[in-house]
Structure 1
Amino acid sequence: MPRSTPRRVSPYALLAAAAVLAIAVAVTGMVIWPGGTESDGARRPAAGVTAEADPRALAGRTVVIDPGHNGGNSADPRAINRLVDAGGFRKECDTVGAETTDGYAEHAFTFDVAVRAAEELRARGATVILTRNDDQGVGPCVDERARIGNEAGADAVVSLHADGGPPQGSGFHVIAPAASPDGGNDGILPASGRLANLLREAFGSATGQPPADYLGEDGITVRADLGGLNLSRVPKVFLECGNMRNPGDAARISDPAWRQQAAAGLVQGLVAFLTDGGPRDGGTARAGGGGGSSGASASPGS
């Protein structure tokens, strides 16, 4: 592609713009971002998430974000321990999830990142559905979470989690589906693998978080024991954003600014997937680890 000649900007225009910015800062004491202020960590654009999103980039696309677990799960063990279909076998409806040593809960983390990402995706024209609309309820069960994506005819589904792995282990990983025991998810495996690869690249770039060093291979794991993946009939992956039991990961997860970066990585991965042909065939996840995870968060409750 031929190089284009760089466009010259008048120094007078630069001086004028600087003067306007200086006046704005002097008057307000802050830089105003669309949707918030510099001090509003929940809405401030992070690296890779632009303030001026293309409102047509994802027009016509439907995305389901599934924030793992829920704030009321621990208060209703009977509900979350009942067995439901998990795609060829039965397992618990849900779990309480993991938490940091300081008590920051996985369910709160996943909901926070989901809300941030949903706002950015909607700004790009996507229809976004969350599997839960607050952090005080119970469930939904894993089969219902999968059903929400299926009934929406989603172009992509991402289930958000943060692992509860060994304290010495750190990093994030994406879980892609393997063939379920009942064979019901065979049709989504290629597209889900492509989503896993794109999300892995985007999330690592946006957050600076390294791939997990305690399971999987290069940030990807393939599993057939998660009901949320086995029952899905649309492209779907799990994103384990870090290990809540690792001190370094826990510090990042507890930081609102880093959670905005996590949302940015999620958005970038979805945009890459949905604007490059969407859920077409082709591409499988490169992964190791095959079957199990030492993490508590995505094991029995997903």
Structure 2
Amino acid sequence: MSYTGPGFEPPRPRRSRRGPLTVALAALVSGGLLGWAVYATVGGPGDDEGPGSASASASAASRTPSSSAGSTSPSAGDGKPSDPAATPSSSASAPAKSGPLKGKVVVIDPGHNPGNFRHVTEINRQVDIGTNSKACDTTGTTTNDGYAEAKFTLDVAHRMRTLLQRQGATVKLTQDADRPFGPCVDERARIGNQAKADAVVSIHADGSGTGNRGFHVILPGAVNAGAADTRAIVGPSRDLGERIAGNFVRATGSAPSNYTGGGTGLVTREDLGGLNLSTVPKVFIECGNMRDSKDAALLTSGAWRQKAAQGISDGIVSFLRGPGSAR
């Protein structure tokens, strides 16, 4: 997700300092980043580059190949066949099977829409997010080679849907490239609210500067203004976010962001419509930085996207199975 998109003001970049400091910071996250502590101890992929400026892709739309804008093939970007079991049809939902999550509803919100760049006027329309007004949506960002964030988010969402349905959950997507553009950020929140979702996760990838690496989970801050009142969901959303962060590290081996979140992989925001208007537990995850070549190599790999889907899904399962379940 580009930081200059709707509701995304750039946080101040933080200079990466790996080693004992990072482990100490991660330890403060109430067990949610146990996997990161292990990662920092044994080492992982090189991610020690200093941060660049948190700049967005102002020309993301022009670099998004129109021929691939509507494609949701999980193998796209790496040229390798994907696991058929991980690529269900693009239907909005499927009957839940029996399993530990039987009766639970999960809404997956794939950030942006492959068709947004064709509807610039519509997605620039202002909508009420409680605290103020923001643009309906953005095109999202791309890798330097043109792999679109909207394509990435749909692919991960499809993989998550399969994994969660296997656990018995009812899974709904806010969009599945089944509409020309959007939905707007306020409608994305309403979809989760109206579904009375037990958990909502919005999938994204960042558009920050070269050298800025890693994932971060965005948590709702306490907001009570206009149509927004997040006070009841702040606690459960943090629990959901911590569980996703810890499991994401374990599944992918990726480190928390080196440019925001202070090494914890967790960031609290009060300016995002998708969180402000939610009445059910909800978080965003920025899975990596599309504008860094090392992160982009992961994001464009079908095998890594499967790991990302597994990590996020494992965090959701842990959250839904209750406080006593392993993180």
TM-score normalised to structure 1 length:
0.74
Alignment root-mean-square deviation, CA: 1.6
User: Quick one: which of 286, 289, 300 aligns to 1:243?
Assistant: 289
- 1:276 alignment partner in structure 2: 322
Alpha-carbon displacement from aligned partner over 1:51-103 (angstroms, at most 9, x marks no partner): xxx94110010000000000111111110000001122110000000100000
Q: Which amino acid aligns with 1:249?
A: D
Stretches of structure 2 lacking an aligned partner (at least 5 in a row)? 1-79, 87-96
Out of 175-184 and 213-222, give the one that drifted further: 175-184
Query: Rg bigger for which structure?
Result: 1
User: Quick one: which of 170, 190, 194 aligns to 1:151?
Assistant: 194
Q: Which amino acid aligns with 1:161?
A: H
Cα distance change of structure 1 residues 158 and 248 upon mapping to structure 2, 3 Å threshold: same
Tell me if structure 2 keeps the 8 A contact 1:67–1:114: yes
User: Quick one: which of 174, 178, 181 aligns to 1:131?
Assistant: 174
User: Quick one: which of 251, 255, 258 aligns to 1:210?
Assistant: 255
Runs of 4+ with deviation above 6 angstroms: none
* C-alpha separation in 2, matches of 1:176 and 1:94: 19
1:40 offset after TM fit, Å? 4.2
Secondary structure of residue in 1 paired with 2:279: coil
Q: Which amino acid aligns with 2:172?
A: I
1:223 aligns with 2:269: yes
Aligned-pair identity (%): 51
- 1:88 alignment partner in structure 2: 131
* C-alpha separation in 2, matches of 1:110 and 1:219: 19
1:197 aligns with 2:242: yes
1:44 offset after TM fit, Å? 5.9
TM-score normalised to structure 2 length:
0.68
Stretches of structure 1 lacking an aligned partner (at least 5 in a row)? 1-38, 46-53, 279-302
- 1:12 alignment partner in structure 2: none
1:137 offset after TM fit, Å? 2.7
Q: How does 1:1-302 map to 2 (within 5 A)?
A: 40-43=81-84, 55-134=98-177, 137-182=180-225, 184-217=229-262, 218-277=264-323
Secondary structure of residue in 1 paired with 2:180: coil
Q: Which amino acid aligns with 1:93?
A: C
Matched residue pairs, number? Answer: 232
1:133 offset after TM fit, Å? 1.9
Secondary structure of residue in 2 paired with 1:257: helix
* C-alpha separation in 2, matches of 1:166 and 1:112: 24
Q: Which amino acid aligns with 1:248?
A: K
Alpha-carbon displacement from aligned partner over 1:115-154 (angstroms, at most 9, x marks no partner): 0100110111100000002276300000000000000000
Tell me if structure 1 keeps the 8 A contact 2:115–2:177: no
- 1:284 alignment partner in structure 2: none
Tell me if structure 2 keeps the 8 A contact 1:108–1:135: no
1:180 offset after TM fit, Å? 2.1
* C-alpha separation in 2, matches of 1:148 and 1:42: 29
* C-alpha separation in 2, matches of 1:175 and 1:114: 17
